[in-house]
């Protein structure tokens, strides 16, 4: 427990991201992690009904397989007398009314202001929402309906010279965002520079390379606890969206090395040279 106490004292994401690897692979270990977390948080809430709702004895999902709250004083705020919690999983929103929001039990919860926080088509939404179309004119949103297909998380089949950063099938949401963008930005710059040096007109991800990249990510995912949770990591928060791991799980260091090796030999790319003058 000494290690856990140290991580807890550091705050922020340390307890989740710097913890033992077993915590994200073995359910029994994760349950112990949850028990430690629950004991810490329970001490911060006095209202038993609120405590039962936000800190149930049985974990609703493996801890860390959904984005944890990066908080300061969050649970103390929940414990205030003027804060009321409604369990929308068991008593959903029926409709919006002039006074506020009506839940399925017919109760109208009166509000001066309602802040909407819905949707979150994470990781893929910013790309499928651009209207990008592949060579055959198929929209990327339609193309990825049956699953995301990229090569190295930066290029996609039938989209020559289109480069993506902070993208699906890259470390993205399971890493430091700034670091991911910096690494991918450098990799994209390396690809463009290499194209100029070698007289290349276009590069394009081969379908078989994209299939393998996707399969490798899902194979890694199946070894973890992520599939046990309906999260936006898995695309499970959007009706009709394919349920799959959307992030690269082996970390930034491995990701950068694998990408550099592929770029060096254009492995997985269809390369078209510039026409002779």
Q: 129: which 2 tokens?
A: 């929402």
Same domain, 163 and 38: no
Same domain, 58 and 134: no
Same domain, 9 and 94: no
Residue 75: predicted pLDDT:
92
Residue 30: predicted pLDDT:
97
Same domain, 109 and 233: no
Compute the average pLDDT of residues 177-189: 97
Single pTM value for the model: 0.90
For the domain that residue 154 is a member of, what is the CATH number?
Answer: 3.50.50.60
Q: What are the backbone dihedrals phi and psi of residue 212, each rounded to the nearest 5 degrees, phi first?
A: -70, -40
Same domain, 71 and 162: no
Q: For the chain, how many structural domains are there in total?
A: 3
Q: Taking 90 as the threshold, does the pLDDT of residue 111 lie above it?
A: yes
Question: Maximum distance among all alpha carbons in the chain?
Answer: 78
Residue 71: predicted pLDDT:
76
Helical residues (DSSP H) of the chain, grouped into ranges:
2-10, 14-17, 27-42, 48-54, 74-78, 125-128, 140-143, 177-197, 207-222, 252-265
Residues 60-98: tens digit of each pLDDT: 999 999 987 767 789 999 999 999 999 999 999 999 999
- Domain range spanning residue 90? 86-118
Contact indicator for 204, 269 with CB cutoff of 8 Å: yes
Residues 142-176: tens digit of each pLDDT: 999 999 999 999 999 999 999 999 999 999 999 98
Single out the residue in 96, 118, 140 at which a domain terminates.
118
Same domain, 140 and 242: yes
Q: Taking 80 as the threshold, does the pLDDT of residue 257 lie above it?
A: yes
Same domain, 148 and 55: no
Residues 201-249: tens digit of each pLDDT: 999 999 999 999 999 999 999 999 999 999 999 999 999 999 999 999 9
Same domain, 139 and 66: no
Residue 277: predicted pLDDT:
67
Same domain, 203 and 238: yes
Same domain, 8 and 58: yes
Given pLDDT bands bounded at 50, 70 and 90, which one contains residue 276?
A: confident
Same domain, 12 and 54: yes
Single out the residue in 70, 101, 118 at which a domain terminates.
118
Same domain, 269 and 133: yes
Angle at 23 between CA 50 and CA 118, to 5 degrees: 50
């Amino acid at each position: 427990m000494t290690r856990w106490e140290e991580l807890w004292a550091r705050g922020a994401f340390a307890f989740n991201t710097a913890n033992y690897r077993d915590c994200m692979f073995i359910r029994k270990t994760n349950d112990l992690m949850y028990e430690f977390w629950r004991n810490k948080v329970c001490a911060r809430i006095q209202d038993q009904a609120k405590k039962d709702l936000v800190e149930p004895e049985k974990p609703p999902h493996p801890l860390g397989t959904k984005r944890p709250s990066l908080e300061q004083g969050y649970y103390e705020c929940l414990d205030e007398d003027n804060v009321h919690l409604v369990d929308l999983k068991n008593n959903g929103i029926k409709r919006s009314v002039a006074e506020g929001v009506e839940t399925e039990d017919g109760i109208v919860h009166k509000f001066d202001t309602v802040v909407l926080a819905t949707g979150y088509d994470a990781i893929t939404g910013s790309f499928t929402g651009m209207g990008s179309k592949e060579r055959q004119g198929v929209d990327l949103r339609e193309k990825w309906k049956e699953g995301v297909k990229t090569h190295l998380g930066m290029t996609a089949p039938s989209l020559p010279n289109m480069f993506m950063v902070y993208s699906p099938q890259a470390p993205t949401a399971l890493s430091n965002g700034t670091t991911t963008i910096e690494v991918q930005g450098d990799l994209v710059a390396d690809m463009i520079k290499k194209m100029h040096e070698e007289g290349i007109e276009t590069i394009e991800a081969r379908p078989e390379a994209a299939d393998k990249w996707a399969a490798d990510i899902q194979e890694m995912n199946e070894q973890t606890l992520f599939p046990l949770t309906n999260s936006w990591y898995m695309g499970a928060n959007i009706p009709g969206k394919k349920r799959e791991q959307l992030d690269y799980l082996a970390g930034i260091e491995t990701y950068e090395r694998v990408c550099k090796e592929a770029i060096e030999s254009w492995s997985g790319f269809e390369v078209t040279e510039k026409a002779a003058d």
